[in-house]
């Protein structure tokens, strides 16, 4: 998976984004005892990646417009991810006078919004802010940004501030293997979504995100352990408040600080 945006940027004064490292993605390939629904879903995703890679590359090569990109995205959602075009995908979903490109329903419940940009458009924070507004207004947890090639999936935790976690970032034309792309996009399939498997992926990502780990490092129990180890190694008896300041100002990345 390859990242295409600066996910650590701040969307607004009431929003924080957590951007876990891509290497922490949960890559659970199906075992020999995987249920039939999972095997079928993965096979469908794998076949769609193969099928649509050439048309997608052609769209990118000719810098196709957003409408053409949306046609491919619709086909991929239906053929690859298993959604019914008429029952489970609502185009131009109206949210307080604005229109989301897609509202996604599973078992008649609205579960996600999808924002589509033209195939050569680099996905950015402003696009995430746009789909976030829809999610906040409708109380939807999941947001998907895509230009057909790159699929980014975010989870929103309500509150003040709103927390946005990046759960998936997949490039269909990237260098990662077909198996890795399949493993990731499987979580977006209707069958996986209805079983809430993506929730487990998000929780693992959120628990090991830079922000979450920074909070652990700056906790009193860890700071006390650091103080003792510094004293053991150097004979200097530092104050935990001084260690916290140094970690914040000189060691930890600013965008990871709580």
User: Which neighbouring-strand residues pair with 116?
Assistant: 146
Q: Which residues have CB under 8 Å from 5's CB, separation 6+?
A: 122, 123, 124, 125, 128, 152
Q: How far is the C-alpha of 224 from the C-alpha of 218, rounded, in Å? A: 10
Name the pairing type of β-strands 98-106 and 109-116.
antiparallel
Peptide bond into 161 cis (omega under 30): yes
Q: Exposed/middle/buried for 41, CB within 10 Å: 0-12, 13-18, 19+?
A: buried
Kindly state the tokens that stand for 49. Answer: 């990646």
> Which pLDDT tens digits describe the chain residue by residue (258 residues)?
444 434 433 344 345 555 544 433 444 444 458 899 999 999 999 999 999 999 999 999 999 999 999 999 999 999 999 999 999 999 989 888 888 999 999 999 999 999 999 999 999 989 999 899 999 999 999 999 999 999 999 999 888 888 888 899 999 999 999 999 999 999 999 999 999 999 988 888 778 878 889 899 999 999 999 999 999 999 999 999 999 999 999 999 888 887
């Amino acid at each position: 998976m390859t990242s295409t945006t600066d996910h650590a940027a701040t969307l607004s004064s009431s929003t924080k984004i957590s951007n876990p490292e891509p290497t922490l993605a949960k890559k659970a390939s199906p075992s020999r005892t995987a249920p039939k629904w999972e095997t079928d879903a993965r096979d469908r995703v794998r076949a769609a990646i193969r099928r649509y890679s050439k048309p997608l590359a052609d769209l990118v090569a000719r810098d196709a417009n957003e409408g053409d990109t949306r046609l491919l995205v619709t086909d991929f959602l239906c053929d690859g991810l298993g959604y019914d075009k008429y029952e489970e995908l609502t185009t131009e979903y109206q949210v307080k006078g604005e229109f989301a490109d897609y509202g996604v329903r599973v078992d008649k419940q609205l579960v996600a919004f999808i924002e589509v940009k033209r195939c050569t458009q680099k996905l950015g924070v402003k696009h995430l802010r746009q789909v976030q507004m829809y999610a906040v207004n409708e109380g939807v947890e999941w947001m998907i940004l895509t230009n057909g090639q790159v699929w980014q999936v975010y989870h929103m935790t309500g509150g003040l501030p709103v927390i946005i976690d990046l759960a998936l970032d997949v490039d269909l034309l990237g260098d990662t293997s077909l198996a890795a792309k399949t493993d990731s996009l499987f979580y977006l399939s209707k069958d996986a979504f209805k079983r809430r498997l993506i929730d487990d992926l998000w929780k693992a990502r959120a628990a090991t995100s830079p922000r979450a780990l920074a909070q652990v490092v700056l906790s009193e129990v860890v700071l006390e352990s650091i103080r003792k180890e510094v004293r053991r190694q150097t004979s200097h008896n530092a104050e935990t408040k001084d260690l916290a300041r140094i970690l914040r100002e000189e060691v930890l990345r600013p965008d990871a600080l709580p």
